[in-house]
């Protein structure tokens, strides 16, 4: 089991792994179509997509958090509520 802190550190790499896999597959299908060599091309492209996406996520994520913190309004009725969302990434 992961601690909450470990889970927080694992969140970005896990999401980036899954998203880079999905996006690289979609882009290769759009460019090549379904056919011979699709899986091989995808497995060659996925590490490149991951290598670009992970550092980009680490650089972009703090800015996105700061922007969302600026534009988020705290509702007075939600502060005492038991229904709260957990921290993201």
Residue 88 belongs to some domain of the structure: no
Residue 83 belongs to some domain of the structure: no
Residue 43 belongs to some domain of the structure: yes
Contacts of 5 (CB under 8 A, 6+ apart): none
Residue 50 belongs to some domain of the structure: yes
28-71 pLDDT, tens digit per residue, is: 999 999 999 999 999 999 999 999 999 999 999 999 989 999 99
Q: Whole-prediction pTM value?
A: 0.69
Domain enclosing residue 72, as ranges: 4-78
Return the percent helix, strand and coil in the chain, to nearest 5: 75, 0, 25
11-24 pLDDT, tens digit per residue, is: 999 999 999 999 99
Residue 24 belongs to some domain of the structure: yes
Q: What is the pLDDT of residue 84?
A: 61
Task: Report residue 87's pLDDT band, with 50, 70 and 90 as the boundaries.
Answer: low
How far apart, in whole angstroms, are the C-alpha atoms of residue 60 and residue 51?
Answer: 15
Residue tagged 């957990």 (tokens): 86
């Amino acid at each position: 089991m992961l601690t909450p802190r470990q889970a927080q550190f694992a969140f970005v790499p896990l999401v980036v792994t899954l998203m880079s896999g999905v996006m690289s597959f979609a882009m290769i299908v759009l460019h090549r179509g379904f056919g011979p060599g699709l899986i091989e091309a995808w497995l060659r492209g996925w590490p490149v997509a991951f290598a670009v996406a992970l550092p980009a996520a680490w650089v972009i994520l703090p800015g996105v958090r700061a922007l969302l913190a600026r534009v988020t309004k705290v509702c007075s009725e939600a502060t005492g509520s038991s229904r709260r969302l957990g921290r993201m990434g």
